[in-house]
Amino acid sequence: MVRLLLVGPPGAGKGTQAVRLAETFGIPAISTGDIFRANVRDETPLGIEAKSYMDRGAYVPNELTNALVADRLTHADCVPGFLLDGYPRTLDQVDALDEMLAASNQALDVVVELVADPEVVIERIRLRALEQGRADDTDDVVRARLEVYTAETAPLIDIYARRGILVSVDGIGEVAEVTDRIVSALAERGIGGV
Ligand code: AMP
C-alpha cells in the first residue's frame, strides 16, 4: 500500500515520471490534468467548464477538482494505493485531500517534489508543444501557468516538508535517470516497488 503525490512546476516531467512510477509500484497514476483533457475532448459538462480555465493557464475551481478526485479515489484500482500527479495544487485542495483520506483512515506516505529550473521547463514545454500540440502549451499560457504555480502551488511544498513527508528530487536529466533518483529516494524511506 503506497500513497504518493508528485508536485513540481509545469514541464518538470511529472506526467512522464508518474506513469513510470505507477508501473513500478503497481498503483494507478491519477493526473487531474489528463482527466480534464479527456473531458474537454469528449465535450462533457465538466470539460466545457474546465476548458475556459485551462485555455488561459488558470486553475479549474477547487470545488470541481476536489469532487473529481474524491470520486476517482473510490475506484477499485486505488485499493493498493495511488500516485496523484498534479493534485493538490492549492491549500484548499490539500485540506480536501486530507479529509478524503482521513475519512477512510488513510494518509499520504510521501510527496515527491520534482525540482526544475523555470528556464529549463519553458524549453521543455516548447518541445512538448511541437510533439503533442497541447492547447495550453503556447508561450503566453505557459508563462501564466508558471506564475499560478509559483503563487498557489509552490507554498504546498513547505506544508509537506513540515509534515516530514517531502522528498525533493532533481528533475533534470534523462527520463530513466530521474526515475532511478525517485525510486532510490523512496527506497531510503522504506518504500519499495513491486
Ligand atoms: P497539467 O496537465 O497537470 O499541467 O494540468 C493542465 C491544466 O489542468 C492546468 O493548467 C489546470 O488548468 C488544470 N488542472 C490540472 N490539475 C488541476 C488541479 N489540481 N487544480 C486545478 N486545476 C487543475
Secondary structure element (H or E) that encloses residue 84, with its range: strand 81-85
Judge whether 56 counts as a catalytic residue.
Answer: no
Of 3, 20, 124, 128, the catalytic one is 128
Indicate the top mutation candidate among 17, 32, 62, 124 to test ligand 1's pocket, ranked by most ligand atoms within 8 A of CB: 32
Residues of the chain with pLDDT under 70: 194
Judge whether 145 counts as a catalytic residue.
Answer: yes
Q: How many CA atoms lie within 13 A of 118 on its CB side?
A: 11
Judge whether 14 counts as a catalytic residue.
Answer: yes
Q: What share of the chain is helix, strand, coil (3-state, %, to 5)?
A: 60, 15, 30
Q: Could you tell me the pTM of the whole model? A: 0.94
Judge whether 72 counts as a catalytic residue.
Answer: no
Give me the pLDDT at residue 194, please: 67
Give me the pLDDT at residue 112, please: 98
Atom of ligand 1 nearest to the CA of 54: 12
Q: pLDDT digits over 20-56, tens only? A: 999 999 999 999 999 999 999 999 999 999 999 999 9
Which three three-digit cell numbers place residue 143?
508563462
- Inter-residue long-range contacts of 67-75, CB under 8 Å, 24+ positions, other chains counted: 68/32, 68/35, 69/30, 69/32, 69/93, 69/96, 69/97, 69/100, 70/96, 70/100, 72/30, 72/35, 73/30, 73/100, 75/28
Contacts of 99 (CB under 8 A, 6+ apart): none
Please count the other Cβ atoms lying within 10 Å of the Cβ belonging to residue 37.
Answer: 18
Of 3, 51, 124, 145, the catalytic one is 145
| Burial grade of 91 (CB within 10 A; 0-12, 13-18, 19 or more) | middle
Atom of ligand 1 nearest to the CA of 93: 19
Mind listing the domains of the chain with CATH numbers? Answer: 2-30+82-186 (3.40.50.300)
d(Cα 73, Cα 13) in Å, to the nearest integer? 23
d(Cα 135, Cα 36) in Å, to the nearest integer? 12
Which three three-digit cell numbers place residue 169?
528530487
Contacts of 33 (CB under 8 A, 6+ apart): 15, 85, 86
The residue assigned the cell 508528485 is 6
Helix (H, G, I), strand (E, B) or coil at 12: coil
Residue 54 CA to ligand 1 center (angstroms) comes to 7
Give me the pLDDT at residue 72, please: 97
Judge whether 181 counts as a catalytic residue.
Answer: no
Give me the pLDDT at residue 85, please: 98
Who lines ligand 1 at CB under 6 A? Answer: 10, 32-33, 36, 53-54, 57, 59-60, 65, 86-87, 89, 93, 136, 145
Give me the pLDDT at residue 26, please: 96
